[in-house]
Chain A
Amino acid sequence: MWKPVRLFNFKKKFDFLAQRRAALIISTLINVVSIVGVFTLGLNFGIDFKGGIAIQAKAKDGTAELDQLRNIVGNLGVGEVSLQEFGDPSTVLIRVQRQEGDNQCVAGAQRVMQKTAGQGWQVKPGAAGTGDVEFTSPTALDSVNWRDAVSRAGLTLQERQLPRGSTNTATIDMSVEQRAEWCQQVAIKLVEDAIGSNYELRGTESVGPKIGDELMRGGIYAVIATMFAIAIYVWVRFEWQFAVGALIAMLHDVISTIGIFVLFQLDFSLTALAAVLTIAGYSINDTVVIFDRVRENMRRYKKMPLIDLLNHSVNETLSRTLMTSATVFVAVAALVLFGGPVLHSFSIAMLWGVIVGAYSSVWVACAGLVYLGLRADQLRPVEDKADKGGDTEKAEA
């Protein structure tokens, strides 16, 4: 059998806090750049938040011709489109902006009708200010056939929306919002028809304007609520200087992670949000390990200057800070390497979160304690069992 290897066993003691000024500048810079980046370059929001359509297609003959595809899809009148290779050269991810239900969409619906129901069909926008759409059929249709016909353009109709008797034209009353949601369906049909002969459609995702707005709002609430809940927890568990230090470190990690999304223009989707929230929770992990030790040492060495005490504590806990980060790092690295394109931005963000979490617990959280002027007499009286253990040890020492 083999012997354990002390992976992070440093004989030398490091003076971490000596670099606190440099760290302060670097951390501030990273955060300021991240925030400025969000407002200038902007986050590359995925369709979850922005609304829109994402279609994954695989070339039937091997390679996806991005330029050619860009031309085809770009000329469909579905607004802004972007294409990127996805996973391998034969697969392409086509993204179409969210549909606003404008007249261009109505023209698109006419093309869909002409292709699926017959050349003679016409589709026109109804009265201005409403979402109404006027369909004209080459032959007179009864209500049942009307419903069948317009369903080809992805429209569900209700009895009251159908024309009575047998007519050639029908005005379908819709609100502007309903038309925008319907236009998502029209756009999907247009894209699928345009590329369907040469590409195999592997997956389609569509988020309408309404859901997009809701998820965006919900996402922001979720981030704020999570940080708030963690803040309260830390507040209850630690003296205020520790709580503030840990929270600044958490904010630092979250903001710089968002900065990574801006810098590499990674897709900021729901999965990315999951990464940000997980990092907020994980960021505290390394910090509490060090803080626990700082508290313990403050009770033991009442006379030691704060900087020395912090350095001592960080050095004592260094191997476990690195070990815990390393275990999560290798796990996440496997996700980056093998998790496939869907998890790509999630894994990259998590990887960054692990690294920055270790950095911030030393140079943000601990350095913060120095700036917050923590003193031994500010510690709460010993209460829980773990701390009592610390006291008996003092007696032994």
Chain B
Amino acid sequence: MLNLPRWQTIVIAGITLLSALFALPNLLPASVLQHLPQWYATSRINLGLDLRGGAHFLLEADLRSVLTERLTNLSDAVRAELRKQQVPFRDVAVEAGKNLVVTLRDEANRSKALEAIRAVDPALALSGSGDTIRVAYSEQELAKRKKEVIDQSIEILRRRVDETGTLEPTITRQGDERILLQVPGIKDTGDLKRKINQTAKLTFHLVNEDLAATGQNIPQTVPPTTFLVPTREGMLELRRTNPKAWEDIQAANPRLSPEQICRRYQPQCLPVLKRVVVGGEDLDDSKATFEQQQGGRPIISFTFNSAGGRAFCNATRNNIGKRLAIQLDGEIISAPVVQSAICGGSGIITGSFTTQQTQEQSLLLRSGALPATLTIIQESTVGADLGADAIQAGTVAALVGTLLVAIFMFVAYGPVFGGFANLAMLVNLLMVFAGMSILGASLTLPGIAGLVLTAGLAVDANVLIYERVREEKALGRSPFSALATGYEKAMSAIIDANLTTLIAGLLLFGFGSGPIRGFATTLTLGIITSMFSSTIFTRMLLSVWVRWRRPTELVI
């Protein structure tokens, strides 16, 4: 048992060194790290928000009202189609969050009515009997729509929260209808909440083509009906060429108007009419898609609600050939030329776009409105100094805890065996760090508690082995035989003990969230790695030691 083949010794030593290598970036100071390759230096454990400070919001999307809204639109379409097909009906009612109920005047028309409804959308699920028809979306369609709503909300949140690109928010979906938003290091959460709530202001304006035709970027005077608005490209250009100006604009309080920005910093601007043709609140949807003919160029499609559609129809009919500027939060994101009257509520924007551009533009168009109401159902904010306090407490507790355990083992089992156990504890901690770095897991305050607990639990395996060795020694076995039997006989209890704790750790990981998951992570990882460090690793140390010292008596 103690006669390890050389290759095993090498493999065990190799695993240990590899762990140390992966754990190392977490322990080195920044001054050393900057000289190392980036992929290596950045593979470090993230600190959880409870240590780092920051905000955590769990948001729930109100998908029920999204569905109700969609059913309301569908009911209009169904009504129109039934009229068109001349199917007399009594009522088309929306059952909130569920389905439509169509009541026919005459049962005899049922098959004709079903056909008409299928014509609206062939994927609809139809049921009911007699003069009532229940119309619902299929499960797949609902699931797809849910996913769309959440994905779109995540994109919009990302844009709203991280306007300045400095916050590094983590935004992830949680289950079917929730979004987890984590923003490390943020000080003012009131401001963050306002950003979540604040909607980008999207408006459509006609370009003052007479003024634009003069060719001046910033005309000296503009008529009172017109104002100057910087273009998005212009602002991006300004940010690149004159970062100072860009920062000043961001920091200005009160915020500068688009016209002020144009006059003061002279980015590329467009003169547009102040009158709003249609507002973003009337824009239902916008998608990046491809043209049907002409080689399928990437285009952007958009849909207005009925009010928006009417206003848009009037404006485009009277202004063919002119440009229509789309203003988002004081920047013109695009100014396509009106090719024809766009009536019927939906239209497309063509141009020499790449797919990436159409995706970005359609996202910008949508960013006016969140597709569903988001409610904060859980919130946690940790100030930076509270986090610093937690780090301080956690570090002291971890150092004192492991030190106490180490002293204890030294006293109880002497410098050699105590030393091996303590070395194993150290290797165990390194392996946990390495594992967390590889998994990209976050270290939280309960996670530190898990580490301390792991340190205490990991040496238990050595205690079991050493106590057994003492017994075997007392029975008069030779040192070599006592050690070998000690390992062998202690094994089943070590495995039982570790596995039951592992069960608890895994279930806790499955159930817990946030900081508690951090505890489950370190505990679970620690127990798994301790099976290596406390048994396999110490056995290797002992086999090398026995061969080297050839002890005639064990001092244990």
Contacts and interface: CB of A to CB of B under 8 A. Distances in A.
B377 A331 contact: no
Interface residues of A, number: 97
A208 B378 CA distance: 6
A292 interface: yes
Given A204-B379, A210-B60, A271-B519, A343 B449 contact: yes
Contacts of A282: 457, 500-501, 504
A346 B449 contact: yes
A334 B62 contact: no
Interface stretch (B241-249, B252-260, B506-514): B506-514
A331 B405 contact: yes
A338 B453 contact: no
A335 B504 contact: no
Given A207-B378, A337-B400, A338-B400, 14 more contacts: A156-B370, A158-B369, A159-B369, A160-B65, A184-B376, A202-B386, A206-B378, A226-B503, A230-B500, A237-B496, A270-B514, A288-B496, A334-B400, A335-B453
B402 interface: yes
A218 B380 CA distance: 19
B405 A285 contact: no
B360 interface: no
Contacts of A202: 382-383, 385-386
A328 interface: yes
Contact of B463 (A277, A324, A346): A324
B194 interface: yes
A340 B511 contact: no
Given A4-B413, A7-B411, A281-B501, A181 B453 contact: no
Contact of B404 (A226, A334, A343, A350): A334
A233 interface: yes
Nearest to A283: B500
B189 interface: yes
A331 B523 CA distance: 14
A338 B378 CA distance: 29
Interface in B437-460: 445-446, 449, 452-453, 455-457, 459-460
A195 interface: no
Contact of B504 (A1, A270, A280, A288): A280
Interface residues of B, number: 98
A335 B386 contact: no
Interface in A322-368: 323-324, 326-335, 337-340, 342-343, 346-347, 350
Given A158-B372, A222-B508, A339 B464 contact: no
Nearest to A56: B386
29 contacts: A1-B415, A2-B415, A143-B281, A147-B198, A155-B197, A156-B197, A161-B373, A178-B375, A201-B383, A202-B382, A202-B386, A205-B379, A206-B379, A208-B375, A210-B60, A226-B503, A271-B515, A282-B501, A292-B492, A323-B467, A324-B464, A327-B408, A328-B460, A333-B404, A335-B452, A335-B453, A340-B397, A347-B449, A350-B453
Nearest to A182: B375
B241 to A, nearest CB: 32
A237 B498 CA distance: 13
A234 interface: yes
Contact of B414 (A4, A188, A274, A331): A4
Given A148-B198, A204-B189, A330-B401, A343 B383 contact: no
Nearest to A385: B488
B497 interface: yes
Interface string A140-163: 000110011001001111111110
A211 B378 contact: yes
Contacts of B405: 327, 330-331
Interface in B309-328: none
Contacts of A159: 281, 369
A132 to B, nearest CB: 13
Interface of A: 1-7, 56, 87, 143-144, 147-148, 151, 154-162, 178, 181-182, 184-185, 188, 192, 200-208, 210-211, 218-219, 221-222, 225-226, 229-230, 233-234, 237, 270-271, 273-274, 277-278, 280-282, 284-285, 288-289, 292, 316-317, 319-320, 323-324, 326-335, 337-340, 342-343, 346-347, 350, 384-387, 389-390
Contacts of B381: 203-205
A4 B556 contact: yes
Interface string B347-389: 0000000000000000000000110111111111111011001
Contacts of A317: 467
A384 B496 CA distance: 13
A123 B463 CA distance: 67
B411 to A, nearest CB: 5
A392 B449 CA distance: 43
B464 A203 contact: no
Nearest to B377: A208
Contacts of A211: 58, 377-378
A209 to B, nearest CB: 8
B90 to A, nearest CB: 27
Interface string B156-170: 000000000000000
A33 to B, nearest CB: 25
A219 B194 CA distance: 33
Residue from A184, A277, A280, A284 whose CB has the most chain B CB atoms within 10 Å: A277
B73 to A, nearest CB: 11
A330 B456 contact: yes
A328 B415 contact: no
A352 to B, nearest CB: 14
Contacts of A2: 410, 414-415
B459 A327 contact: yes
B491 interface: yes
A229 B488 contact: no
Residue from B189, B459, B503 whose CB has the most chain A CB atoms within 10 Å: B503
Contacts of A201: 383
Given A274-B516, A316-B471, A324-B463, A285 B375 contact: no
Contacts of A277: 504, 507-508
B67 interface: no
Contact of B501 (A285, A316, A327, A343): A285
A289 B493 contact: yes
Contacts of B58: 211
Given A226-B504, A331-B452, A338-B396, A288 B493 contact: yes
B201 interface: yes
Contacts of A326: 408
Given A159-B281, A207-B378, A274 B520 contact: yes
Nearest to A290: B493
A4 B383 contact: no
A226 to B, nearest CB: 5
Contacts of A7: 411-412
Contact of B512 (A270, A334, A347, A387): A270
A119 B7 CA distance: 81
A323 B382 CA distance: 39
Nearest to A160: B69
B289 interface: no
Contacts of B493: 288-289, 292
A233 B503 contact: yes
A331 B463 contact: no
The 10 closest A-B pairs by CB, nearest first: A281-B504, A331-B456, A340-B393, A334-B401, A4-B414, A151-B197, A281-B501, A328-B456, A222-B511, A285-B497
Nearest to B452: A331
Contact of A185 (B376, B418, B492, B523): B376
A99 to B, nearest CB: 12
A59 to B, nearest CB: 14
Contacts of B413: 4
A131 to B, nearest CB: 11
A386 B463 contact: no
Contact of A335 (B389, B417, B449, B502): B449
